[in-house]
Chain A
Amino acid sequence: MKKTIGALGWPVFIMAILSLGGLIYNFIFYERLRPLILGFGDISPILDNMQIPAAGSFIFIFIFHIAALAYVFIQMMYFKRESLLLAAVFFLAIMSALMMLGDFALLGDMGKEHAAGLDTSGEWPVLYLSQALHLLFVILLIVLISATSKKLKRDQDDIVLRDEAIFINAQYIGLLCGLSGMGSFAVLSVLTPLWALRKGIFPVSLISIFPYMIIVIYWLAIKAKERSGSWYDEKQFRDMTRGSLFTLVASIIAMTIVFMAQYFSQVFEYITIIWWPFYVFLVLLLFSASILYYSKRASG
């Protein structure tokens, strides 16, 4: 597996650099289209010049995402030490790959809306936010590949029979998913009308929770492979117990505040729509953060 990581590292690194160029090209393409689309101008000259290279770079970036996902996954299987960088890249790889599909759907919708003479101003910030996410992912992946090449040169670590890294990495990913879900709801609640919030809540929730689902499935597969009688060792169990108690108390307090806010103020009407996913992401955030805190405190 060490050889596979080394062999995959360079092609993925080169693809990441090319994808960076592709992202910049597509951004220029979007920026040239945007004023014309918003002003209902003629976009055919720009499409004639840039459409095919932009579509090519879009496909290339998508293929790069698949290669990067495979690379990150192999790293997670090989390195048995926790890593915030690896967990963050894993989270961003899944989010960014899903957002590539989102971009495709969004661009299709914008094309149809433009042809029908409808306003597309609401879609552009989402498209640019998605581009920023892709950019962040590519940059962090380049950092990860550089760090990995140094790590591979060092001696091989001890054999690990009970993987503790997956336990901590899963909490990092839970923390990032919780933050992503709650952050998305905060932005949507402030920037979008209630009908749009109602429409967008399912895709946003699914995209935000997806990395956590993947890591939990992977963790279950590891536990099945370990064939150990207990799923956690006793320290992990203690950390989870403390984390659960903290989550119980903190989530009751937080949800009481949310309830009071929507009970006494009509401004918080959107809470009646988002309360359930908000609760799920709040619990995920509190649970993962508290377990990380207790684990780190004991190991510090």
Chain B
Amino acid sequence: MKKLYMKKVQDRLDNDLKRCRFEKDSISQQELANALGVTRLTIHSIETGKFNPSVFLALKIARFFGKPVDDIFFLEETGPQPGKKGERR
């Protein structure tokens, strides 16, 4: 009998926020933060993947750039790590 194995998959939220900023007149992190009512550090942390925004903030970002949310935020599939924890495969 064929054994079924569940593939260990971890999903990570990734984004194209930095590209979106450059496409929109190369606005700075601070300008985007001002427009969204958050701090610059929050924008920086989202761009570097160290902070996942709430649905509310993600929708506000999408509205600001005039794009659907999943054009900016998407899931990146990562598996079990052979080396350093948190490193992409």
- Nearest A residue to B34, CB-CB: A161
Given contacts A233-B37, A235-B51, A298-B50, contact A158 B31 (CB under 8 A): yes
Residues of A within 8 A of B33 (CB): 161-162
Check B39–A162 contact: CB distance below 8 A: yes
Chain B interface residue bracket vs A: 10 to 19
Report if A236 contacts B (CB, 8 A): yes
Q: Given the complex of chains A and B, what is the CA–CA distance between A157 and B51 in angstroms?
A: 24
Report if B75 contacts A (CB, 8 A): no
> What's the count of A-B pairs with C-beta under 8 Å?
54
Q: Given the complex of chains A and B, what is the CA–CA distance between A167 and B48 in angstroms?
A: 21
Contact with A along B50-89 (1 / 0, CB 8 A): 1101100100000000000000000000000000000000
Report if A83 contacts B (CB, 8 A): no
The distance from the CB of B57 to the nearest CB of chain A, in whole angstroms, is 6
Q: Given the complex of chains A and B, what is the CA–CA distance between A299 and B34 in angstroms?
A: 18
- Nearest A residue to B56, CB-CB: A234
A127-173 contacts to B, CB under 8 A, are 157-164, 167
Check B39–A235 contact: CB distance below 8 A: yes
Report if A199 contacts B (CB, 8 A): no
Report if A295 contacts B (CB, 8 A): yes
Given contacts A234-B54, A234-B57, contact A162 B45 (CB under 8 A): no
Given contacts A160-B30, A162-B33, A234-B57, contact A298 B51 (CB under 8 A): yes
Check A299–B45 contact: CB distance below 8 A: yes
Pick the most buried of A160, A297, A299: most chain B CB atoms within 10 A of its CB. A299
- Nearest A residue to B33, CB-CB: A162
Residues of A within 8 A of B21 (CB): none
Q: How many residues does chain A have at the interface if contact means C-beta atoms less than 8 Å apart?
A: 19
The distance from the CB of B74 to the nearest CB of chain A, in whole angstroms, is 20
Report if B18 contacts A (CB, 8 A): no
Contact with B along A256-300 (1 / 0, CB 8 A): 000000000000000000000000000000000000000101110
Given contacts A228-B37, A235-B38, contact A158 B51 (CB under 8 A): no
Given contacts A235-B51, A297-B50, A298-B50, contact A162 B37 (CB under 8 A): yes
A201-234 contacts to B, CB under 8 A, are 228, 233-234
Q: Given the complex of chains A and B, what is the CA–CA distance between A282 and B3 in angstroms?
A: 55
Residues of A within 8 A of B48 (CB): 298-299
- Nearest B residue to A232, CB-CB: B39
Given contacts A159-B34, A162-B34, A297-B50, contact A236 B39 (CB under 8 A): yes
Selected A-B contacts with CB under 8 Å, 19 pairs: A158-B34, A161-B37, A162-B37, A162-B39, A164-B39, A164-B41, A233-B38, A233-B39, A234-B54, A235-B41, A235-B45, A235-B51, A236-B39, A236-B42, A298-B41, A298-B50, A299-B41, A299-B48, A299-B50
Given contacts A159-B34, A162-B34, A236-B39, 13 further A-B contacts (CB under 8 A): A157-B30, A161-B37, A162-B38, A167-B39, A228-B37, A234-B42, A235-B39, A235-B42, A236-B42, A295-B41, A298-B48, A299-B41, A299-B50
